[in-house]
Protein backbone atom coordinates (compact mmCIF):
# COMPACT_ATOMS: atom_id res chain seq x y z
CA UNK A 1 0.00 0.00 0.00
CA UNK A 2 1.44 3.34 -1.04
CA UNK A 3 1.68 5.96 1.68
CA UNK A 4 2.10 8.83 -0.81
CA UNK A 5 0.30 10.34 -3.74
CA UNK A 6 2.95 11.72 -6.13
CA UNK A 7 1.98 14.44 -8.61
CA UNK A 8 4.39 15.87 -11.22
CA UNK A 9 4.36 19.67 -11.31
CA UNK A 10 5.01 22.06 -14.24
CA UNK A 11 8.77 22.36 -13.55
CA UNK A 12 10.69 19.22 -14.55
CA UNK A 13 11.57 17.09 -11.54
CA UNK A 14 9.44 19.09 -9.08
CA UNK A 15 6.84 16.92 -7.34
CA UNK A 16 3.95 17.39 -4.96
CA UNK A 17 3.93 14.59 -2.42
CA UNK A 18 0.74 14.05 -0.40
CA UNK A 19 0.90 11.89 2.69
CA UNK A 20 -1.83 9.33 3.22
CA UNK A 21 -3.22 9.49 6.77
CA UNK A 22 -4.27 6.38 8.65
CA UNK A 23 -6.45 7.32 11.58
CA UNK A 24 -8.95 6.30 14.16
CA UNK A 25 -10.43 7.76 17.35
CA UNK A 26 -6.90 8.09 18.84
CA UNK A 27 -5.55 10.29 16.04
CA UNK A 28 -3.54 9.47 12.93
CA UNK A 29 -0.33 8.04 11.52
CA UNK A 30 1.43 9.33 8.39
CA UNK A 31 4.80 8.65 6.83
CA UNK A 32 7.06 11.66 6.19
CA UNK A 33 9.71 9.85 4.12
CA UNK A 34 10.17 6.46 2.46
CA UNK A 35 13.24 6.00 0.23
CA UNK A 36 11.66 3.11 -1.66
CA UNK A 37 8.44 4.94 -2.53
CA UNK A 38 10.03 8.33 -3.19
CA UNK A 39 12.65 6.91 -5.55
CA UNK A 40 9.95 6.87 -8.24
CA UNK A 41 9.50 10.61 -7.63
CA UNK A 42 13.20 11.31 -8.15
CA UNK A 43 14.71 11.01 -4.66
CA UNK A 44 17.73 8.79 -5.24
CA UNK A 45 20.20 9.67 -2.46
CA UNK A 46 20.23 8.99 1.26
CA UNK A 47 18.97 11.66 3.65
CA UNK A 48 21.99 13.62 4.81
CA UNK A 49 20.21 16.04 7.16
CA UNK A 50 16.75 16.66 8.59
CA UNK A 51 16.12 20.24 9.65
CA UNK A 52 13.22 21.80 11.52
CA UNK A 53 12.21 25.46 11.24
CA UNK A 54 9.62 27.46 13.15
CA UNK A 55 8.49 30.89 12.00
CA UNK A 56 6.45 32.99 14.42
CA UNK A 57 4.88 35.73 12.32
CA UNK A 58 2.31 35.37 9.55
CA UNK A 59 3.57 36.89 6.30
CA UNK A 60 7.25 36.14 7.00
CA UNK A 61 9.43 35.04 4.09
CA UNK A 62 12.43 32.72 4.29
CA UNK A 63 14.53 32.11 1.19
CA UNK A 64 15.27 31.81 -1.66
CA UNK A 65 18.12 29.41 -0.78
CA UNK A 66 20.16 26.88 -2.76
CA UNK A 67 23.47 25.01 -2.65
CA UNK A 68 25.92 25.13 -5.55
CA UNK A 69 27.46 21.95 -6.99
CA UNK A 70 29.10 19.76 -5.88
CA UNK A 71 26.93 20.35 -2.78
CA UNK A 72 23.64 20.74 -4.66
CA UNK A 73 20.81 19.15 -2.71
CA UNK A 74 17.35 17.77 -3.19
CA UNK A 75 14.84 18.75 -0.49
CA UNK A 76 11.61 17.24 0.73
CA UNK A 77 9.77 20.07 2.50
CA UNK A 78 6.86 19.19 4.79
CA UNK A 79 4.69 21.52 6.89
CA UNK A 80 3.88 20.01 10.29
CA UNK A 81 2.17 23.03 11.86
CA UNK A 82 0.27 25.94 10.32
CA UNK A 83 0.35 26.74 6.60
CA UNK A 84 2.95 28.09 4.17
CA UNK A 85 3.16 29.06 0.53
CA UNK A 86 6.20 27.08 -0.59
CA UNK A 87 8.12 28.26 -3.68
CA UNK A 88 10.72 26.54 -5.88
CA UNK A 89 12.66 28.34 -8.65
CA UNK A 90 14.41 26.37 -11.41
CA UNK A 91 18.07 27.48 -11.61
CA UNK A 92 19.30 24.73 -13.94
CA UNK A 93 21.20 26.44 -16.76
CA UNK A 94 19.95 24.27 -19.62
CA UNK A 95 16.43 23.71 -18.34
CA UNK A 96 13.45 24.67 -20.49
CA UNK A 97 11.92 26.19 -17.33
CA UNK A 98 15.04 28.17 -16.27
CA UNK A 99 14.10 30.92 -13.74
CA UNK A 100 10.45 29.88 -13.66
CA UNK A 101 8.85 29.28 -10.27
CA UNK A 102 6.07 27.15 -8.88
CA UNK A 103 4.35 27.38 -5.50
CA UNK A 104 2.17 25.05 -3.44
CA UNK A 105 0.24 25.56 -0.23
CA UNK A 106 1.61 23.17 2.37
CA UNK A 107 -0.12 22.69 5.69
CA UNK A 108 -0.35 20.30 8.57
CA UNK A 109 -3.95 19.63 7.50
CA UNK A 110 -3.49 18.98 3.77
CA UNK A 111 -0.51 16.63 4.21
CA UNK A 112 1.26 17.99 1.12
CA UNK A 113 5.03 18.23 0.74
CA UNK A 114 7.23 19.55 -2.04
CA UNK A 115 10.03 17.38 -3.42
CA UNK A 116 12.53 19.87 -4.85
CA UNK A 117 15.31 18.49 -7.05
CA UNK A 118 18.92 19.65 -7.16
CA UNK A 119 19.38 22.91 -9.02
CA UNK A 120 16.40 24.74 -7.53
CA UNK A 121 16.16 27.65 -5.09
CA UNK A 122 13.61 27.27 -2.31
CA UNK A 123 11.72 29.63 -0.03
CA UNK A 124 8.35 30.10 1.63
CA UNK A 125 5.93 32.59 3.13
CA UNK A 126 4.01 31.80 6.31
CA UNK A 127 0.25 32.03 5.80
CA UNK A 128 -0.37 31.46 9.51
CA UNK A 129 1.52 32.39 12.64
CA UNK A 130 3.72 29.72 14.22
CA UNK A 131 4.34 27.65 11.10
CA UNK A 132 6.75 24.71 11.37
CA UNK A 133 8.50 22.83 8.57
CA UNK A 134 10.64 19.71 8.36
CA UNK A 135 13.23 19.52 5.58
CA UNK A 136 14.90 16.30 4.45
CA UNK A 137 18.15 17.17 2.61
CA UNK A 138 20.13 14.89 0.29
CA UNK A 139 23.46 16.66 1.01
CA UNK A 140 25.01 18.26 4.09
CA UNK A 141 24.95 22.03 4.38
CA UNK A 142 28.15 23.58 2.99
CA UNK A 143 28.53 27.29 3.86
CA UNK A 144 31.01 27.81 1.00
CA UNK A 145 28.39 26.57 -1.51
CA UNK A 146 25.48 28.61 -0.18
CA UNK A 147 23.57 30.71 -2.67
CA UNK A 148 20.45 32.82 -2.60
CA UNK A 149 18.05 34.79 -4.73
CA UNK A 150 16.30 37.90 -3.51
CA UNK A 151 12.68 36.91 -2.79
CA UNK A 152 11.54 40.35 -3.96
CA UNK A 153 13.49 40.31 -7.23
CA UNK A 154 11.19 41.75 -9.93
CA UNK A 155 12.87 39.50 -12.53
CA UNK A 156 11.42 36.45 -10.76
CA UNK A 157 7.92 37.94 -10.50
CA UNK A 158 7.05 35.79 -7.47
CA UNK A 159 3.50 36.73 -6.49
CA UNK A 160 3.70 36.39 -2.72
CA UNK A 161 0.13 35.88 -1.47
CA UNK A 162 0.35 38.58 1.21
CA UNK A 163 2.49 41.55 2.15
CA UNK A 164 5.89 40.47 3.49
CA UNK A 165 5.92 41.20 7.22
CA UNK A 166 9.36 39.82 8.08
CA UNK A 167 12.48 38.88 6.12
CA UNK A 168 16.03 38.44 7.40
CA UNK A 169 18.67 41.00 6.48
CA UNK A 170 20.59 38.22 4.74
CA UNK A 171 17.63 37.06 2.61
CA UNK A 172 16.57 40.62 1.78
CA UNK A 173 20.08 41.62 0.72
CA UNK A 174 20.67 38.92 -1.89
CA UNK A 175 21.46 40.73 -5.16
CA UNK A 176 18.90 41.06 -7.91
CA UNK A 177 19.39 38.88 -10.98
CA UNK A 178 21.34 40.34 -13.89
CA UNK A 179 22.70 39.18 -17.23
CA UNK A 180 25.74 37.63 -15.52
CA UNK A 181 23.58 35.01 -13.77
CA UNK A 182 23.91 31.95 -15.99
CA UNK A 183 22.26 29.43 -13.71
CA UNK A 184 23.52 26.27 -12.04
CA UNK A 185 25.30 23.53 -13.95
CA UNK A 186 24.73 20.14 -12.30
pLDDT > 90? residue 82: yes
Tell me the percentage of the chain whose pLDDT exceeds 70: 99
pLDDT > 80? residue 1: no
| Closest C-alpha among 40, 43, 47 to residue 5 | 40
CB-CB contact of 124 with 58 (8 Å): no
The 3-state DSSP class for residue 74 equals coil
pLDDT > 80? residue 41: yes
The total of other beta-carbon atoms located within 10 Å of residue 165's CB is: 12
Average pLDDT value for the chain: 95
Cα distance between residue 111 and residue 20, in whole Å: 7
Which CATH fold would you assign to the domain 4-173?
Jelly Rolls (2.60.120)
pLDDT band at 2 (very low <50, low <70, confident <90, very high): confident
* Helix or strand run (H / E) with residue 186: none
Active site residue 65: yes
Q: Measuring CA to CA, how many Å separate 135 from each of 22, 26, 32, 51, 76? A: 22, 27, 10, 5, 6
Bridge partners of 126, per DSSP, are 84
Cα distance between residue 186 and residue 182, in whole Å: 12
Q: What is the mean pLDDT of residues 104-118?
A: 97
Q: Measuring CA to CA, how many Å separate 151 from each of 18, 142, 146, 147? A: 26, 21, 15, 13
pLDDT band at 65 (very low <50, low <70, confident <90, very high): very high
The 3-state DSSP class for residue 59 equals coil
Which residues are within 8 A (CB) of 112 and not within 5 positions of it... i.e. 6 or more apart?
16, 17, 18, 19, 79, 104, 105, 106
User: What are the pLDDT digits (tens) for 123-175?
Assistant: 999 999 999 999 999 999 999 999 999 999 999 999 999 999 999 999 999 99
Catalytic residue among 71, 102, 122, 135: 135
**pLDDT, position 179:** 87
Nearest 5 degrees, angle CA 121-CA 139-CA 61? 35
**pLDDT, position 17:** 97
**pLDDT, position 10:** 97
Q: What is the mean pLDDT of residues 109-126?
A: 97
pLDDT > 80? residue 8: yes
Catalytic residue among 65, 122, 137, 174: 65
pLDDT > 90? residue 34: no
Active site residue 135: yes
Amino acid sequence: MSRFKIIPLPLEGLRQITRQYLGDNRGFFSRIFCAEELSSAGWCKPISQINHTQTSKQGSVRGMHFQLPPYAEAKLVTCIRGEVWDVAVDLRKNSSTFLQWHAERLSAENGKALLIPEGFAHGFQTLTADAELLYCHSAPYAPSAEGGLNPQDPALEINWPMAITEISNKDGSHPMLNAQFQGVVL
